[in-house]
Amino acid sequence: MGRIVSVALPTTAESASGPHQECVGCASVSPNGADLASGSWDKANRIWKTESWTIFGGRLEGYENLVTDISFSPDGERIVSSSHDGTITTLGD
């Protein structure tokens, strides 16, 4: 069963785009709406706290090409992302 989660948008361009060095190609909101994971053409993922639009942790790197998809597990404990280089990465427990 799906549900709609409403989150506030960033209020400045810096908070919205500063941490990625290239276009954001994919994003996913956690099941509880507290986090947003983003994947970019800069070959990295980021996790944002949606209440403050601050980055949780650092830049999650390791791909050789752009990030093509990112998604939270149904329980919100893991994030799975994929890259144009054919790599799939799982973050979390």
Closest CA to 26 of 43, 7, 13: 43
Contact 53, 75 (CB under 8 A): no
Integer Rg of the chain from CA? 13
Mean pLDDT to the nearest integer, 64-76: 93
Return the structure tokens found at 18: 């500063």
CA angle 79, 38, 88 (to 5 degrees): 45
Which of the four pLDDT bands, split at 50, 70 and 90, describes residue 56?
Answer: confident
Is this model's pTM higher than 0.85 or not?
Answer: no
| pLDDT on residue 7 | 47
Where do we find the tokens 């960033």? 10
Q: What percent of the chain shows pLDDT beyond 90?
A: 31
